[in-house]
Structure 1
Amino acid sequence: MAALALTACGDDVPEVDTSVYGAGENWDNPGGDWAESHFSRLEGLTKENVSGLGLAWEYDLGTARVQEATPVVIDGVMYTSGNLGRVYAINAVTGEELWTFVPEMDMQIVRSACCDWANRGIAVAQGKVMVAALDGMLYALDMTDGSVAWSVDTIAEHDRGYTSTGAPEVAGNLVVIGNAGAEYDTRGYVTAYDITDGSEAWRFYTIPHDPADGPQESEELEAALSTWSEDTRWDIGGGGTAWDAITYDPQFDQIIVGTGNGGPYPQAVRSPGGGDNLYLNSLVALDRETGRMKWHFQETPQDNWDLTATQPMMLAEMEVAGEQRPVILHTPKNGFFFVVDRETGRPLAANPIVRTSWADSWNLETGQPNMTMELADYTNGPKVVYPGSPGARNWYPAAYDPGRNTYFAHVLDMGNLLFLTGPTEGVERQKSFLNAGAAIIFTPDLEAAAPSLPPFIREAMMATPQWQWVLDEPFRSELRAMDPLTGKTKWAVESLGWQDRNGVLATQSGIIFHGNVAGQLFARDSDTGEELWHIDTGSSIMAAPMTYSVDGVQYVAVQTGWGGGGWGFVPPYAAAYSKGNRNRLLVFKLGGGAVPVPDDLPALEPAPQPPAQFADATPDMIAMGSGLFTENCGICHSNQPRAPLPDLRRMNSGVHGAFNQIVLEGLLMPNGMPRWDDRLSPDQVKAIHAYLIDTQAALRTRELELQRRGLPLDTQSLTILSNY
């Protein structure tokens, strides 16, 4: 493919050479190159010498939450982001800090973050480093000193639960960003801003608004209206947020956006009467200059299951049916591997890579799935649905090696039980809060949970054909090398568990790099999956590694930190469980040294004695407090040993004494704990407190007994605790 210059679109649009595939000395965006392939052309590290890697330097990111970003390196300087949208500039050879940026944060907006304080990276262009903070502010920072060149509020409606977690995407003279929050009460969109001054160039909404409010913003949305029912709950929002995958395609001067799930989840609540609900769960190609839609491809019509299309995509060119075609390689949550024509949006290949109960195959002629709704529609009763809402694939990047025509990715073959949490009619919008409308239990937990489920849920679950899938194999979690056109596995390596998910780096020299949540970084043979090297870091790794070269020396870098979806439940096999969640940036080179491994956390002590229960506490009050805690607090406070946020069954007397000030008055807002007086009344907070006092007293009793028996107070003892 010849070098491509986009001069026809204006002198301020830089030339992009699409004839060169993969990153070189620089790694100029989180995906590495123009195709966002997570593939490197560097060959300084080989199968023969990679075992000589050691630590070149480490940098303490100063936090203890989720780390999902892949660093960028340009001309010897590393730029990367951390949770909430922090930015770090570091000498890529020595690890010396050049500058840092910490955004001011509206913690009430942050309360609407479903899946931790994640941030997936930065964009660099025109001497600026751009980052989207979790509260929706987009910042452009001067590359030399981190000062703010401009900032803009990307949130369209502040009375809805919008946040931002994805990396901005540079597209010529524009930077494009979307938002998260489909589980809340949002309507998805992406916005393009001029990199020079932050002025808005255009905004594209991914789903229509209530037609009673006037014409749609575009002809494409007018056309989409017919795919939504007349009784759609527009007031709740509808979903479709573009929380991650946004990719610029310079060959066709288009921005390809992956859109998110419907909100609420059940279509019977969201769009009673059905419809495909465009443009949920779709790839949407937008003209860079105007923001007008060029084509769309919906990967999961009639979404009921949180099967988003927001997972990272990469661009490539490959032979399909004897013809070279420009394509998108995409593995969204829904369990299919898609090869999509970049020019037309037509699917050229669509193959399942995990068990799927919502559809069993794809009709390439019609561009539609062969849906099996009788197995997946839980409107009239609970269903076990595959894949589950964590997705066959999710935010953790894959890598594509064009010479080997191999796609390397972590794959999760897992389902979940889904059932309605209330009626489908008369549902009240929860302002800036969860509006999912469905309950989820993942298949690894189903057998153990079955006896405690209400009989009608348990019986309906066991009546689904997928119940046998649960019994045969609740989940399979593995790193795979796959053929894009067939989806077939060339080789696979089993992961530690379903919560062990990892991004991947591939190199032209035939090596792939990935980490795991136990804190190990691996190098494997791209052709066989054979382990060539690994090192223990003591810090959980989920983010994708990257590689770069300075003065002829090749480095491999990765950020460490546990978090993301399900972040409150740290598995015992994670380094974050045994050693804490210290966030570090680790950089390796040939001849480097050992990695300092954090010490183990001290052994747990029995829960402190709680204060006396409220004199007016009743079983009904405590039960109400349990429900309120689950609905409002449980998304952050999992109340598990070693959880990232405080286990509220272990509060000391000072926290108990300040409970009202913390929850209702925002005493700990500087620490990240928002206030709840806009949602919870004093009586409701008292009920939650009564529940926590009751729970803490019971936990203390059980843990003292475990201590007496000489048993450890850890997750492996939870079964003993529950049966004691």
Structure 2
Amino acid sequence: MRNIGILAAAIAAVGSAASAQDTAERGPAAVDEARLLAANAEPGNWLSYGRTYDEQRYSPLDQVTTGNIGELGLAWFADIPLNRGQESTPIVVDGVIYLSSSWSNVFAYDAATGEQLWRYDPEVPREWAINVCCGMVNRGVAAWNGRIYVGTLDGRLVAIDAATGEEVWDVYTIDRNQRYSTTGAVRVVKGRVLVGNSGGEFGVRGYVSAYDAETGELISADAFAPVNWASHVDLATGRPVENLEARYDDTGQIAFVTPTGRGAHNWQPMSFNPNTGLVYFGSRHSMSAYLADPDFTPTSIGTNTGTFRAFSPEQRAEVTAREDALFADRGALLGWDPVARGPAWRYVDPRQTGNGGTLSTAGNLVFAGGGEGQFFAYRADGGERLWTFDAHTGVAAGPVSYEVDGEQYIAVAAGRGLQPYYQPNYARLLAFKLGGARQLPDPVEYVAPALDPPPSTASADVIAHGADRYGQICVQCHNNRLGTFPDLRRSVALADAVLFDAIVLDGALAANGMASFAEALTPEDATAVREYVITLAIEAKAAEDAEQAAAAAQAAEDAEPHED
């Protein structure tokens, strides 16, 4: 499971930043403080999460340019046997790629061929998923003195032998009585491994700011997307100046807020190109309704935001109407000028696709993925889209560039995005080079479960109670917008109360990450939740039927003979 044992031979055969002889002599993942401090002198490697300590995610490699980007093709791909999201930035050290994946698995690959050298599985208990907000993801590893380090979903820090893939040690970094998880990339500084923990939705809080390194002065704080909950940021305090009407906990009224809790920009890595002076990142425009829950009681399972999160169809329609009125588009990839404090260019995808992490290169290129299933290259100074690759799946992770035997590669982890949960994930590590001619296998046909809800027989009070419990316990994962978790409206368990309770209360699917919620839900609560989801399914079925009827009517009209 963890060791294939061919890494030493692989690194001896590859020449990248150093000679093959030097590489073989120092062994795999031979990264120390001197190399990290001088990482910019090794353009063929990607030694840490952001390549260099300043994490600009800029590659000095310039073999691939705006002039020959059309010749970029798939050099190799490696399937990742995990049906979850892929958000990791790979690191590349002396011809070997180290990549973390979902459930905190770590893989090592030959950077020239994609051959898997080893796999490490920390065997995270699947029931720990109950403590995780938004997917069983991991965003990156660190290399140091022959070891690879990863933070695991259940809060451990693990050291792995880079040559064999065997575990060296692991240690818990959290209080396991609290609802923590670890998804972020680890870093190593002066021999210390830095790891952070998550859990804001469940009661854990954190705060991060960026300040001038010399003076401690906050330089600027400018909106790059529409914001209505604050007017500006006070540069003296570094805190936003809130609009009072956005304080729904004080007003007791619904507040329609933009950006939403997902942010105008989230975890996806940004990059900076010193040649253009621009920063590259995706922005998104969305709105959500927020209302304080007067009956909120903290729970040991579920979210603890204190807000009401299950709204009526009319309220959801109002959110959509406000979005349509406020936003000219639903987001873009930005080339942001930090000196002029505004966008030098914006690329808007009319499909309103989500934007992934970015990589900028000396070839005047920016690489970024999209939620709909493509990987793109843009002109760094002007923003034109120059190249597209169909990855068959969402590409959210940060790309990297490296060099093997004089050839520049672009690599990115792909898997999940905005596609339906029921579509195959196609999780893969993709590597491109000029003249690459590999082809991905054709996508597999799939059919999502039908919307076939049973009749709603519950009282309005039961459904309202179910909406409350669903909003605190279920909606964080099963919000029907992302492909990470099943769409409960399509579940066969809606028509089978015994099966529904077996899953929700008894943990029948704990091995898949769906733990028992008996600690937070009574049998009566579970019944109410099921009845509420039935109403959501009926609503979705009615919308689907109306859409199909409209399409059929349009087709019939188009088939009618028309006089010229």
Equivalent residue number for residue 557 of structure 1: 411
Pick the aligned partner of 1:539 from 383, 393, 400.
Answer: 393
Q: Indicate whether 1:346 and 2:364 are aligned.
A: no
Pick the aligned partner of 2:357 from 481, 503, 509.
Answer: 503
Equivalent residue number for residue 291 of structure 2: 419
Q: Indicate whether 1:585 and 2:456 are aligned.
A: no
Select between 414-423 and 700-709 the one with higher mean Cα deviation.
700-709
The answer (yes or no) to whether the contact 2:301–2:473 under 8 Å persists in 1 is no
Give the residue type in structure 2 aligned to 1:559: A
Name the CA shift for 1:164/1:150 in 2 (closer, same or farther; >3 Å).
same
The answer (yes or no) to whether the contact 2:109–2:118 under 8 Å persists in 1 is yes
Aligned length: 521
Pick the aligned partner of 1:667 from 498, 505, 508.
Answer: 508
Equivalent residue number for residue 229 of structure 1: none
Structure 1, residues 265-284: CA drift from partner, whole Å, max 9, x if none? xxxxxxxxxxxxxxxxx33x
Give the residue type in structure 2 aligned to 1:435: N
CA distance in 1, matches of 2:306, 2:113: 50
Equivalent residue number for residue 402 of structure 2: 548
The answer (yes or no) to whether the contact 1:109–1:161 under 8 Å persists in 2 is no
CA distance in 1, matches of 2:53, 2:360: 15
Give the residue type in structure 1 aligned to 2:298: R
Give the residue type in structure 2 aligned to 1:397: P
Matches within 5 A, 1:212-223: none
**Which structure 1 residue ranges, 5 or more long, are not aligned?**
1-11, 187-238, 241-258, 260-281, 284-329, 331-339, 564-569, 713-724
Report the CA distance between 1:705 and its aligned residue. Answer: 8.8
Name the CA shift for 1:173/1:354 in 2 (closer, same or farther; >3 Å).
same
Pick the aligned partner of 1:71 from 74, 90, 93.
Answer: 90
The answer (yes or no) to whether the contact 1:73–1:79 under 8 Å persists in 2 is yes
Give the residue type in structure 2 aligned to 1:159: N
CA distance in 2, matches of 1:113, 1:65: 13
Q: Indicate whether 1:431 and 2:449 are aligned.
A: no
Pick the aligned partner of 1:116 from 113, 124, 135.
Answer: 135
Equivalent residue number for residue 196 of structure 2: 178
Give the residue type in structure 1 aligned to 2:219: L
Report the CA distance between 1:150 and its aligned residue. Answer: 0.5
Equivalent residue number for residue 595 of structure 1: 439
The answer (yes or no) to whether the contact 1:477–1:497 under 8 Å persists in 2 is no
Matches within 5 A, 1:139-218: 139-156=158-175, 158-186=176-204
CA distance in 1, matches of 2:34, 2:404: 24
Structure 1, residues 183-239: CA drift from partner, whole Å, max 9, x if none? 2122xxxxxxxxxxxxxxxxxxxxxxxxxxxxxxxxxxxxxxxxxxxxxxxxxxxx2
Q: Indicate whether 1:15 and 2:34 are aligned.
A: yes
**Which structure 2 residue ranges, 5 or more long, are not aligned?**
1-30, 554-564
Matches within 5 A, 1:587-626: 587-596=431-440, 598-599=442-443, 601-604=445-448, 606-607=450-451, 618=459, 620-626=461-467
Equivalent residue number for residue 376 of structure 1: 246
Name the CA shift for 1:554/1:580 in 2 (closer, same or farther; >3 Å).
same
SS at match of 2:44: coil
SS at match of 2:511: helix
CA distance in 2, matches of 1:362, 1:700: 44
Name the CA shift for 1:705/1:517 in 2 (closer, same or farther; >3 Å).
closer
Equivalent residue number for residue 485 of structure 1: 339
CA distance in 2, matches of 1:48, 1:579: 36
Between 1 and 2, higher relative CO (CA 8 Å, sep ≥ 6) is seen in 2
Equivalent residue number for residue 402 of structure 1: 274
Give the residue type in structure 2 aligned to 1:177: V
Give the residue type in structure 2 aligned to 1:54: G
Pick the aligned partner of 1:134 from 153, 167, 190.
Answer: 153
Report the CA distance between 1:508 and its aligned residue. Answer: 1.4
Name the CA shift for 1:136/1:531 in 2 (closer, same or farther; >3 Å).
same
Name the CA shift for 1:373/1:599 in 2 (closer, same or farther; >3 Å).
same
Pick the aligned partner of 2:381 from 527, 541, 545.
Answer: 527
SS at match of 2:524: helix
CA distance in 1, matches of 2:393, 2:263: 24
The answer (yes or no) to whether the contact 2:144–2:188 under 8 Å persists in 1 is yes
The answer (yes or no) to whether the contact 2:260–2:286 under 8 Å persists in 1 is yes
Structure 1, residues 397-452: CA drift from partner, whole Å, max 9, x if none? 111112321111112244443331226xxx533225311113469xxx99x84486
Q: Indicate whether 1:388 and 2:233 are aligned.
A: no
Equivalent residue number for residue 516 of structure 1: 370
Report the CA distance between 1:655 and its aligned residue. Answer: 7.0
CA distance in 2, matches of 1:185, 1:528: 43
Name the CA shift for 1:692/1:167 in 2 (closer, same or farther; >3 Å).
same
> What TM-score, normalized by structure 1, do the two folds share?
0.65
Equivalent residue number for residue 101 of structure 1: 120
Pick the aligned partner of 2:473 from 632, 635, 658.
Answer: 632
Name the CA shift for 1:546/1:708 in 2 (closer, same or farther; >3 Å).
same
CA distance in 1, matches of 2:286, 2:451: 34
Pick the aligned partner of 2:62 from 43, 52, 55.
Answer: 43
The answer (yes or no) to whether the contact 1:77–1:91 under 8 Å persists in 2 is yes
Report the CA distance between 1:128 and its aligned residue. Answer: 1.1
SS at match of 1:490: strand
The percentage of aligned residue pairs carrying the same residue is: 30
CA distance in 1, matches of 2:482, 2:39: 49
Give the residue type in structure 2 aligned to 1:401: N
Matches within 5 A, 1:290-329: none
CA distance in 2, matches of 1:711, 1:22: 62
CA distance in 2, matches of 1:688, 1:370: 37
Give the residue type in structure 1 aligned to 2:416: W
The answer (yes or no) to whether the contact 1:606–1:700 under 8 Å persists in 2 is no
Report the CA distance between 1:16 and its aligned residue. Answer: 5.7
Report the CA distance between 1:504 and its aligned residue. Answer: 0.6
Structural RMSD (CA): 3.5
Name the CA shift for 1:183/1:490 in 2 (closer, same or farther; >3 Å).
same
CA distance in 2, matches of 1:52, 1:29: 28
The answer (yes or no) to whether the contact 1:546–1:558 under 8 Å persists in 2 is yes
CA distance in 2, matches of 1:657, 1:431: 25
The answer (yes or no) to whether the contact 1:537–1:595 under 8 Å persists in 2 is no
CA distance in 2, matches of 1:655, 1:103: 36
The structure with the greater share of residues assigned to strand is 1
Report the CA distance between 1:388 and its aligned residue. Answer: 3.0
SS at match of 2:256: strand
The answer (yes or no) to whether the contact 2:183–2:198 under 8 Å persists in 1 is yes
The answer (yes or no) to whether the contact 2:152–2:182 under 8 Å persists in 1 is yes
Give the residue type in structure 1 aligned to 2:430: L
Structure 1, residues 591-631: CA drift from partner, whole Å, max 9, x if none? 11253254264344644575x999xx655444433433343
CA distance in 1, matches of 2:443, 2:393: 11
CA distance in 2, matches of 1:709, 1:383: 34
Q: Indicate whether 1:684 and 2:525 are aligned.
A: yes
Report the CA distance between 1:15 and its aligned residue. Answer: 2.6
Select between 124-133 and 385-394 the one with higher mean Cα deviation.
385-394
